[in-house]
Amino acid sequence: MKLDVVLGLQWGDEGKGKIVDVLAGNYPVVARFQGGPNAGHSLHFEGKSYVLRSIPSGIFRKDATNIIGNGVVLDPITFRQECENIAKTGVPVKERIKVAKKAHLILPTHRLLDAANEAAMGKGKIGSTLKGIGPTYTDKVSRNGLRVGDILAPDFRDRYEKLKNRHVRQLSQMNFECDPDAEEQAFMEAVDYLREFELIDCEYYVNELLKTEKILAEGAQGSMLDIDYGSYPFVTSSSTACAGACIGLGVSPSKIGHVYGIFKAYCTRVGSGPFPTELFDETGERLRKIGNEFGAVTGRPRRCGWLDLVALKYAVMISGVTDLIMMKSDCLDSFETIKVCTSYKVDGKETHSVPFDTYAAVEPVYTEFRGWNADLTGCRTEKELPEEFRNYIKFMEDYLEVPIRIISLGPDREATIMR
Ligand code: IMO
Ligand code: MG
């Protein structure tokens, strides 16, 4: 069977949580493969809302197994809080979640280092979510990290102290004032809690499952935040593209099936970094208000702008997207005119490529569409969609050369059109 992948194609916050929750009805297994609690995946159903950080968005589906894969960085404290909240609603979290032994642990001091790094960068800061993501992946790559499986070792406490002391030295070199012990007890208790879960050899587990089951891999963040292909250095520290699912779960590229790419009908970005179609006027303000564009994790207002098809086509290429999923086009319902960026002007020359240095003055070139001026939120079939809207979709499919298979017209599970 195949591993199908759901990916964000922009700067995160595309609506991955909702779509994974919708698709998870057809998948017995959902797996996260990268990122950590920097993610905030929102789900709405039966009048309730949830924000998931580390837990896969299949958690509310009965009988679904939810895997936290090798490529993830896991903060035991956040994980415990998240699990306990969900458990209150009657979900048997310990039965439904399996955690990869090779996933790396976020220590409280990783979070302090994140804050220290950002403070040291001043104006040039990344705008990190401050969840310790960058420092944890740094320790992984420099071969200093602690992994989930290490919590089973008799000398775990010694290993923890060794890494913590290393962090304390780094923090004091940076003159960052903090109390490195403040969350130590909560961390140790959360580690005890984590021991109550089934800790798996994810690569064996997933490949064995694939003999009989299809699996849905749930990406976090988005292509333009990818460590290699995003707007470096204003990126996250993991591989958010399709290939990341292979590395993060221990699965061969030949096992990849559908690659679902999610995008919003406009763009948003939180944190710093280039954003060619950003709007600083009242249209941007209007998008933020209608789309409720405030961070699910940090509450920060998101920067808003028109859809950028140049960047989107780049993301489609990097991940080999087979099926597109368009989110939040209902937020454009009241706009007279809708713009999409179809090329860039760089140094006066027109291009359809994302330049190496996205900080070079990139001027977006727009194609304008007449708005549909109709309320799409109640539409449940394609026939109900206005003609202007269908033309708009057709234009995007022609430009991106990939079909739009799912149109989401509201946060609820039910507000979804399958084509
Ligand atoms: P989901 O999965 C939006 C952004 C941060 C910052 C940069 C680096 O909900 O789409 P990090 O904490 O990873 O070191 O921050 O990446 N960022 C996100 N933006 N959605 C996310 O996740 C994000 N995860 C990280 O704002 O600019
Ligand atoms: Mg988010």
Least confidently predicted of 248-257, 305-314, 370-379: 370-379
Nearest to 76 by CA among 14, 13, 131: 131
User: What is the predicted pLDDT for the residue at 298?
Assistant: 80
Q: How far, in Å, CA of 158 to CA of 155, rounded?
A: 5
C-alpha to C-alpha distances, 161 to 41, 146, 318, nearest whole angstrom: 33, 11, 40
Assign 133 a pLDDT band (cuts: 50, 70, 90). very high
- The reply to whether ligand 1 has any atom less than 6 angstroms from the CB of 240 is no
pTM for this model (two decimals): 0.97
Q: What is the pLDDT of residue 238?
A: 98
pLDDT at residue 296, rounded to an integer? 83
Task: List the structure tokens of 348.
Answer: 């006066």
Q: Read off the pLDDT of each residue in 115-124 and give the average, rounded to a whole number.
A: 96
At position 347, the amino acid (one-letter code) is: D
**Looking at the predicted structure, is the pLDDT value of residue 361 above 90?**
no
Say what the pLDDT of residue 297 is. 79
* Closest by Cα among 204, 186, 191, 203 to 150: 191
Question: Is pLDDT of 299 > 90?
Answer: no
pLDDT (mean) for 67-91: 97
* Residue 8, ligand 1, Cβ within 6 A: yes
Residues in Cβ contact with 130 at an 8 Å cutoff, skipping those fewer than 6 apart: 111, 114, 115, 118, 298
Mean pLDDT, residues 371-399: 94
- Contact predicate 409/377, CB 8 Å: yes
Q: State the pLDDT at residue 9.
A: 98
* Cα 322 to Cα 213: distance, rounded to the nearest angstrom: 20
**Quick check: 352 and 289 in contact, CB under 8 A?**
no
Amino acid 358: pLDDT: 75
**Cβ(134) to ligand 1 under 6 A?**
yes
Indicate which ligand has the atom closest to the C-alpha of 53: 1
Q: Is the pLDDT of residue 157 over 90?
A: yes
135 lines ligand 1 (CB under 6 A): no
Pocket test of ligand 1: the residue of 136, 223, 225, 238 to mutate, having most ligand atoms within 8 Å of its CB, is 225
Q: How far is CA 252 from CA 68, 242, 248, 255, in A?
A: 18, 12, 11, 6
- At 11, the pLDDT band (50, 70, 90 cuts) reads very high
Instruction: Determine whether 323 is an active site residue.
Output: no
What whole-number distance in Å separates Cα of residue 188 and Cα of residue 58? Answer: 27
Question: Which of 5, 8, 131 has the alpha carbon at shortest distance from 75?
Answer: 131
- 115 vs 44, 72, 105, 316, 318, CA distance in Å? 32, 20, 17, 33, 31
pLDDT (average), residues 239-265: 98
Which residue carries 């004091």 as its tokens? 172
* 375 has a pLDDT exceeding 80: yes
Separation in Å, CA 262 to CA 58, 172, 219, 374: 17, 42, 10, 23
Instruction: Give residue 359's pLDDT.
Output: 74
Mean pLDDT value across the chain: 96
CA triple 410-416-419, angle to 5 deg? 140
> In this predicted structure, what is the pLDDT of residue 104?
99
- Pocket probe mutation, ligand 1, options 38, 125, 234, 270, max atoms within 8 Å of Cβ: 38
What's the Cα-to-Cα distance from 360 to each of 157, 225, 226, 315, 347, rounded to whole Å? 48, 18, 19, 19, 8
Decide: 12 in ligand 1 pocket, CB within 6 A.
yes
What is the band of 38 on the pLDDT scale with cuts at 50, 70, 90? very high
Encoded tokens for 338 = 């809708």
CA distance 259 to 242: 7
Give the Å distance between the CA of 236 and the centre of ligand 2. 12
